[in-house]
Structure 1
Amino acid sequence: MINGDQMLWGSATAAYQCEGAWQEDGKGTSIWDDFVHSNKNTKGITADVACDFYHHFEEDIRMLAEGGQNTFRFSISWSRIFPHDDGIVNEAGVQFYNQVLDICEKYKVLPNVTLLHYDLPSYIGADGWEKRETIDKFAAYCKRCFEIFGDRIPYYATINEPNHNSYCSYLVGNYPPNHVGDVQNLVKVCYHNMVANAKAIQEFRKLKLKAKIGIVNSGASRADILKDTPEYREAKRYANMLFHGWLIGAAVLGKFPDDLGDTLRNLGVDLSFVKQEDLDLIRENTVDWIGDNIYARKVVKPYEFGETQMVVNNDPHHSQALEGVTVKGLFQPDIDPTTRKNPWGREIYPKCGYDALIRLRDEYNNIPVFITENGHGMFETVDEKGEINDQERIEFLEEYLDYFAKAKEEGCNLQGYYIWSTMDLYSWINGYEKRYGLVHVDYENNCKRIPKKSYYWYRDYIEFQKNQ
């Protein structure tokens, strides 16, 4: 069991995926606005309205609180605060987020706020993280947010999933700027993200706020192997370093893995962009907490064939696609035939949540950790009673929560848990077909909210945990 008095229980969203109002009240455009309105968006689906959180935020936070949740994870749209590249704050954007914080206070819900969740402003550009000047621009944006919102936000996160976002943007090519197999820029972008994280933290520390600052990682569990041989263990070592080690190492320990540089050079990456002052900045500005978005594990085996690439499956009609990353010469994805898979072919392996927390306990000084996302995408329909019976989601969450509880009982410093997502929302290139929410959104009927069976289950689960 997880003692409810020692935990924050909530759910999560992200600005671009839920807000809508893409041109309202002085908001500038983001790289995702540009992408979904371009011919690169082959599905033709946009988040112009999404689930319209911009006009439903009080209803959503009230429902969240009525569902027993005491914390809400959301993100701020950089282009809603700074719509243009002139440093002038859009006061209407500030007012919107202050209103969201007002409603959180009204319902006694603790905000956990991410400053960048994929949606760079258009003036930064889809290739923005390739440029060093983006580091300073990001830090200036963060500084202004720290000054404006201060301790009204008790938990800040700088960047959501620099690892997953960069891999999708530069290996798969399904996120802006839609590069495929661009390893050189992938590494530069990951590096610039970590320097930017440190520079933002430096600005945060200057203000001496009571709030805490972190960063959000995508799946900290160790890569798994299905055979225990020297070759498989070596593949696992490289996978751990390249999937997560560089991010958590820099953010938590203040340094990149010792052999990361040599590994990247052996892959042909030019590291001339690395500067000693950056490494010093990273060493001196580490996070207070780490967020981990946990959905599935990564299974790898020794490299056999193929170019460096990442495969994701966004088509439920081809669910046998082998998701994962291949790094030429080092490792490639493997598949465990004994485990369950979701409709998109992704493995359902709840123990990966336990493994992630144990790793953070043992290798990263048992840093305070929040499960910032954990959830299950489904096809869903409203039945004749107007209800949504998402029992499959409930079973998924129960299994994962059992493993999170086991890790906490074994000393892991788990402080909060967020289901993805608070309500149905835009799921990036998956559009709206793939639903994650605890609350159903009727997109055809003024985005009407209908709590699902999982919403009531989570409410009762939280109450039970608090009484233990």
Structure 2
Amino acid sequence: MALGLRLCLFLFSLLLAALQGDVAAALTRRDFPDGFVFGAGTSSYQVEGAVAEDGRKPSIWDTFSQGGYSADKSNGDVAADQYHHYKEDVKLMHEMGLDAYRFSIAWPRLIPDGRGDVNPKGLEYYNNLIDELIRHGIQPHVTIYHFDLPQSLQDEYDGLLSPRFVDDYTMFAETCFKSFGDRVKHWVTLNEPNVEGLGGFDTGTMPPRRCSYPFGANCTAGDSTREPYIAAHHLLLAHAAAVSLYRSKYQEAQRGQVGITLLAAWYEPATAASPDDVAAAARMNDFEIGWFMHPLVYGDYPPVMKSRVGARLPAMTMDLSKNLTGSFDFIGLNHYLMLNARHDEHAFNLKHRDYAADTAIADAMKDIQEGHGKYAPWALGSLLDHMRVNYGNPPIIIHENGRADFVKDPSTIRTDDYPRSEVLQDYLEVLHMSIRNGSDARGYFVWSFLDLFELANGNTLRFGLIGVDMTVKERTRYVRNSARWYSSFLNGGELRQPAAPKKQYYDSA
């Protein structure tokens, strides 16, 4: 064979190998482990509407938003009106190719007074929704409690501040297990209990708007120094009670799994060369994630919380410690942002301290509440490494991850949302690499399936793969390009696969 021809064939083989390498590197859903679940999510108050229909009574979020406390003075009275559009929505999920839909049960719809009689219309609605999902081959992943405490229980005994909450919540959870557990195989006891204690009882930016000066504003009652820790403790008690009940009475027959879902930002030192900032970032991760993960894995609060909060942190009894340890089949993580932690010893030296001052991180609560972080997909890898190394590599489901668009005009419906697709793609790439590095991640849910009433942010933020015109009675749905991108991936389309997580940042809104 002539030398020139051999050289041409050699160069061609190199080109072919390079092309094959590119093809091999392209990421598809088939590269995720068998049984890995892809879905999208919402929550009851944010999506259902129909707040005064068919026997539903108010929750603390009705009181809050109807009082004009959301960013744009809007409320969830109608929201995306999924109560009347659930069949249309399930059809859209099916067309998109979702494996699963994460939603929550509205306590004041199912048991309107918080305890006592079950509302037959509420029971009918959730049975219909679950059955519709299953008919379309979509797994229902159900959150039992997603912030919407019945207002009656708040009025009766101050809600989460009373241990009476634990018994009422456990009875509500049992109603869910008994009514829906024959079809629901994935249960979440609580959504973001580490957020509810802070927003509701420290800064007063969420219901029931309890706080104290100088830590919160416009509250008529509360104690920001103690109540966040008390509320969180009762949520831990409630979680442990529900898991114990499910495991002893329902799990063997129903063959389901039960877990808890936490907000999990990732904190990096504002100055990597500063030992104080490095310690502050580690401390903040312990306060936010470890507040619940440490009791769930080790049976007690993190040492740094115990030393810095002191007697204001409720004590763990031996029985509670035993009940909490290992009380999950999986951990849900809601991850969006990376935030910088800057040490602020002045805050810790205050005579009266709240959560933010206990962490001694400059502007910590302001940054958390206002979302002053950045979308940094590589930070998801750091978070999953943290869970693997510090908490025994528990099974993980990413229950929320997404990108918001800020809108001033509620009639604005943008369908060309390329930045959302780009952010989601980068997070999925990092998630895949984390699994290859040993993380036991088992699912990924985009927040959110539809545009929602975004709680304290009202209708100013749009996370939906599916847009909703909140200004018309019909609540018209619009398929965004990000939905088409996600659908393509779910149906075999490819993602690029970088060699390593990029130190890439995106604006948070």
Asked whether the two chains share a fold, i.e. TM above 0.5, the reply is: yes
The unaligned stretches of length 5 or more in structure 1 are 310-324, 335-342
Q: Which range is displaced more, 294-303 or 369-378?
A: 294-303
2:198 matched to which residue of 1? Answer: 167
**Aligned mates of 2:139, 2:438 — CA distance in 1:** 24
CA shift, 1:264, in A, is 1.1
2:11 matched to which residue of 1? Answer: none
1:70-104 deviations in Å (ceiling 9; x for gaps): 10000000111111144211111111101011111
2:237 matched to which residue of 1? Answer: 195
Computing the radius of gyration over CA atoms, which structure comes out larger, 1 or 2? Answer: 2
TM-score for the superposition, normalised by structure 1: 0.87
Q: Given that residues 235 and 331 in structure 1 are in contact (C-alpha distance below 8 angstroms), is that contact kept between their aligned partners in structure 2?
A: yes
CA shift, 1:395, in A, is 1.3
Q: Given that residues 113 and 155 in structure 1 are in contact (C-alpha distance below 8 angstroms), is that contact kept between their aligned partners in structure 2?
A: yes
Q: 2:227 aligns with which of 169, 185, 188?
A: 185
* CA 345–255 in structure 1, closer or farther in 2 if over 3 Å, else same: closer
Q: Given that residues 14 and 117 in structure 1 are in contact (C-alpha distance below 8 angstroms), is that contact kept between their aligned partners in structure 2?
A: yes
Q: Given that residues 194 and 247 in structure 1 are in contact (C-alpha distance below 8 angstroms), is that contact kept between their aligned partners in structure 2?
A: yes
* CA 466–399 in structure 1, closer or farther in 2 if over 3 Å, else same: closer
Q: 1:59 aligns with which of 77, 88, 91?
A: 88
2:432 matched to which residue of 1? Answer: 405
* CA 227–145 in structure 1, closer or farther in 2 if over 3 Å, else same: same
Q: 2:284 aligns with which of 201, 226, 239?
A: 239
* CA 118–81 in structure 1, closer or farther in 2 if over 3 Å, else same: same
**Aligned mates of 1:149, 1:362 — CA distance in 2:** 35
SS at match of 2:464: coil
1:97-141 deviations in Å (ceiling 9; x for gaps): 010111111110011110111110111217411111101111111
Q: 1:263 aligns with which of 291, 303, 308?
A: 308
Residues 24-423 of structure 1 aligned to structure 2 (within 5 Å)? 24-38=53-67, 40=69, 43-125=72-154, 127-180=158-211, 181=215, 182-206=224-248, 207=250, 208=252, 209-219=254-264, 221=266, 223-265=268-310, 269-271=311-313, 274-283=316-325, 286-306=327-347, 326-328=356-358, 330-333=360-363, 345-379=372-406, 388-423=415-450
1:447 matched to which residue of 2? Answer: 475
* CA 439–278 in structure 1, closer or farther in 2 if over 3 Å, else same: same
CA shift, 1:243, in A, is 1.2
* CA 125–303 in structure 1, closer or farther in 2 if over 3 Å, else same: same
Letter in 1 for 2:362: Q
2:38 matched to which residue of 1? Answer: 9
Q: Given that residues 170 and 183 in structure 1 are in contact (C-alpha distance below 8 angstroms), is that contact kept between their aligned partners in structure 2?
A: no
SS at match of 2:143: strand
**Aligned mates of 2:386, 2:231 — CA distance in 1:** 25
* CA 272–198 in structure 1, closer or farther in 2 if over 3 Å, else same: closer
1:299-332 deviations in Å (ceiling 9; x for gaps): 21211545899xxxxxxxxxxxxxxx73257333
Letter in 2 for 1:449: R
* CA 86–257 in structure 1, closer or farther in 2 if over 3 Å, else same: closer
CA shift, 1:21, in A, is 0.6
SS at match of 2:461: coil
Letter in 1 for 2:125: F
**Aligned mates of 1:308, 1:354 — CA distance in 2:** 34
**Aligned mates of 1:447, 1:437 — CA distance in 2:** 13
Are 1:457 and 2:498 an aligned pair? no
SS at match of 2:442: strand
The unaligned stretches of length 5 or more in structure 2 are 1-26, 216-223, 365-369, 498-509
Q: Given that residues 112 and 153 in structure 1 are in contact (C-alpha distance below 8 angstroms), is that contact kept between their aligned partners in structure 2?
A: yes
Letter in 2 for 1:125: Q
**Aligned mates of 1:75, 1:162 — CA distance in 2:** 14
**Aligned mates of 2:176, 2:309 — CA distance in 1:** 35
* CA 242–348 in structure 1, closer or farther in 2 if over 3 Å, else same: same
* CA 151–250 in structure 1, closer or farther in 2 if over 3 Å, else same: farther
**Aligned mates of 2:174, 2:258 — CA distance in 1:** 12
**Aligned mates of 2:265, 2:471 — CA distance in 1:** 38
Q: Given that residues 194 and 291 in structure 2 are in contact (C-alpha distance below 8 angstroms), is that contact kept between their aligned partners in structure 1?
A: no
Q: Given that residues 42 and 103 in structure 2 are in contact (C-alpha distance below 8 angstroms), is that contact kept between their aligned partners in structure 1?
A: yes
Q: Given that residues 252 and 287 in structure 1 are in contact (C-alpha distance below 8 angstroms), is that contact kept between their aligned partners in structure 2?
A: no
**Aligned mates of 1:8, 1:465 — CA distance in 2:** 16
The total of aligned residue pairs comes to 438
Aligned-pair RMSD on alpha carbons? 2.6
TM-score for the superposition, normalised by structure 2: 0.80
**Aligned mates of 1:428, 1:152 — CA distance in 2:** 29
* CA 332–204 in structure 1, closer or farther in 2 if over 3 Å, else same: same
* CA 176–69 in structure 1, closer or farther in 2 if over 3 Å, else same: same
1:168-209 deviations in Å (ceiling 9; x for gaps): 112322101223330200111111111111011011112233
**Aligned mates of 1:351, 1:183 — CA distance in 2:** 34
